[in-house]
């Protein structure tokens, strides 16, 4: 992606990222290059005067978030909603639809009208779900369209201070001498915290018990109490506990050390060359949302992220802003889906066996895993039953493209 053309290419759906580039499509780039480019502030230029863009937004907008209110994901989504409300002149609200590793929220948005007034504020867990759940009613690459990346957050591996380890090498040796004696916490089955620990354990042939919680806050309580012994989580979430010496940082999952914890080595330099795990966040829309609206919101998100308020919030989470066109987001999502699929399949009995069973060891059947119970509860709700079926959704997505115009209020 050397630059932005005078007439930017249409935003591609995520499934288009692996196709051969045309004269108007950006060149394929690596995940590392993409995030570096995004951090440099590449933004999408305004599309020349499309009618849908001129008339949008015609009514209040909602951002659907798949995580609990008050957490770091929700907090930044609300800040972004506040800035967009100021910029767009229409209320932008946040609606929390918690459960099933944020798949309830994604399913709701995927089946919402593509009129530019319902969006998904998602995390990297979206890329994990594509391989983890075999019965999803939506396809992130088919039923959602990328709008823009928002930010990336570094991840740290932390342990309870009672463990006699201070480096990844010491932790590996300790785990090898005590197979399955220790437990690691996560904010839920199949999220980035969980898969990050699985990647670490697999790299060294280690075993540990997984204890999932309903969010990071609950996981931190038991980790600090010593009921679990280790966890991977975003630096912003664990830093207060590190500063209070209630948790000990062992390693950073980025390729480079971070300023806030300069003495903590990376996993890249501690026996896992090339290892990189970051929590990333972005905004997606229902498939077939008008192109002009996607481009307009992309530009407005970039503008919001440059505000002093957003920069202060990023600094508080030790995060960095990502600004990139929708195609770059599609490329990243496609690469992340493939990356996590390898981890999920490695924990399965066979490459074709989706590993909700393997990743939730206490479950006797896939349906007994907590995340799957949440999805079944959502599907039985009146709102879910009123939504179009997956077959109807596919028929609508594959229908001939028509120009959509948002009418004035």
Sequence ranges of the domains in the chain: 14-152+279-356+366-396, 154-252
pLDDT value for 52: 54
Burial letters 113-136, b for 16+ CB under 10 A, else e: ebbbbbbbbbbbbbbbbbbbbeeb
The yes-or-no verdict on residue 2 having pLDDT over 90 is no
Q: Please, what CATH class does the domain formed by 14-152+279-356+366-396 belong to?
A: alpha beta
- Would you say 119 and 284 are in contact if contact means Cβ atoms under 8 Å apart? yes
pLDDT value for 31: 56
248-298: pLDDT as tens digits: 999 999 999 999 999 999 999 998 999 999 989 999 999 999 999 999 999
What 3-state class would DSSP assign to 12?
Answer: coil
The yes-or-no verdict on residue 369 having pLDDT over 90 is no
Please, which pLDDT band fits residue 225 given cuts at 50, 70 and 90?
A: very high
Question: How many Cβ atoms sit within 10 Å of the Cβ of residue 385?
Answer: 9
303-328: pLDDT as tens digits: 999 999 999 999 988 899 988 889 99
Question: How many Cβ atoms sit within 10 Å of the Cβ of residue 225?
Answer: 10
Between CA 281 and CA 151 the distance in angstroms is 6
Q: Which of 122-126, 179-183, 300-304 is predicted most confidently?
A: 300-304
Name which of 107, 110, 121 is nearest 74 in CA terms. 121
- Over residues 23-28, mean pLDDT: 46
Give the lowest-confidence range in 47-51, 102-106, 318-322. Answer: 47-51
The yes-or-no verdict on residue 361 having pLDDT over 70 is no
Between CA 36 and CA 25 the distance in angstroms is 19
pLDDT value for 120: 98
Between CA 55 and CA 45 the distance in angstroms is 18
pLDDT value for 406: 30
Q: Tell me: domain 154-252, CATH 3.40.190.10, correct?
A: yes
Look at the block and give the residue holding tokens 């999408």: 44
Q: Which two tokens stand for residue 261?
A: 């914890």
In 310-350, where do the E strands start and end? 320-321
pLDDT value for 51: 55
The fraction of the chain above a pLDDT of 90, given in percent, is 56
Cα radius of gyration rounded to whole Å, the chain: 21
Q: Tell me which of 2 and 134 has the higher pLDDT.
A: 134
The fraction of the chain above a pLDDT of 70, given in percent, is 71
Pairing state between β 230-234 and 118-123:
unpaired
Bridge partners (DSSP) listed for residue 245: none
Please, which pLDDT band fits residue 156 given cuts at 50, 70 and 90?
A: very high
CA dihedral over 155, 196, 247, 170, signed as positive or negative: negative
Asked if the domains 14-152+279-356+366-396 and 154-252 are classified in one and the same CATH topology, the answer is yes
Q: Which two tokens stand for residue 375?
A: 């999805």
Between CA 149 and CA 83 the distance in angstroms is 16
pLDDT value for 49: 40
What integer best gives the mean pLDDT of the chain?
79
Please, which pLDDT band fits residue 71 given cuts at 50, 70 and 90?
A: confident
- Over residues 225-240, mean pLDDT: 95
């Amino acid at each position: 992606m050397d630059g932005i053309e005078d007439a930017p290419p249409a935003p591609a759906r995520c499934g288009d990222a692996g196709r051969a580039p045309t004269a108007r499509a950006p060149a394929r780039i690596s995940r590392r290059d993409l995030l570096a480019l995004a951090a440099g502030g590449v933004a999408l230029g305004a599309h020349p005067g499309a009618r849908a863009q001129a008339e949008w937004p015609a009514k209040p907008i909602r951002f659907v978030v798949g995580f609990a209110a008050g957490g770091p994901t929700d907090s930044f989504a609300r800040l972004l909603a506040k800035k967009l409300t100021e910029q767009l002149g229409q209320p932008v609200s946040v609606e929390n639809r918690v459960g099933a590793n944020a798949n309830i929220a994604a399913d709701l948005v995927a089946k919402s009208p593509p009129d530019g007034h319902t969006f998904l504020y998602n995390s990297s867990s979206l890329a994990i779900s594509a391989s983890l759940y075999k019965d999803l009613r939506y396809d992130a690459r088919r039923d959602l369209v990328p709008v823009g990346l928002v930010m990336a957050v570094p991840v740290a591996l932390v342990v309870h201070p009672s463990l006699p380890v201070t480096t990844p090498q010491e932790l590996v040796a300790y785990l090898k001498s005590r197979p399955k004696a220790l437990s690691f916490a996560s904010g839920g089955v199949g999220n980035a915290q969980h898969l990050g620990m699985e990647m670490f354990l697999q790299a060294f042939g280690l075993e540990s018990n997984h204890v999932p919680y309903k969010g990071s806050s609950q996981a931190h309580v038991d980790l600090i109490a010593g009921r679990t012994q280790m966890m991977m989580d975003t630096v912003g979430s664990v830093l207060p506990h590190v500063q209070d010496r209630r948790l000990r940082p062992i390693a950073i999952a980025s390729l480079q050390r971070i300023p806030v914890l300069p003495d903590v080595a990376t996993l890249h330099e501690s026996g896992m060359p090339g290892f990189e795990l970051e929590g990333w966040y972005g905004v997606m829309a229902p498939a077939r949302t008008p192109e002009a609206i996607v481009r307009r919101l992309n530009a407005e998100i970039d503008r919001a992220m440059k505000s002093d308020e957003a920069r202060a919030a990023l600094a508080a989470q030790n995060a960095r802003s990502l600004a990139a066109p929708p195609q770059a987001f599609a490329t990243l999502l496609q690469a992340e889906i493939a990356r996590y699929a390898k981890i999920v399949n490695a924990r399965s009995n066979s490459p074709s066996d989706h590993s909700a069973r393997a990743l939730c060891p206490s479950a006797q059947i896939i349906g007994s895993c907590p995340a799957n119970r949440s999805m079944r509860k959502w599907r039985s709700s009146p709102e879910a039953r009123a939504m179009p079926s997956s077959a109807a959704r596919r028929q609508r997505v594959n229908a001939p493209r028509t120009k959509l115009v948002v009418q004035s209020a």
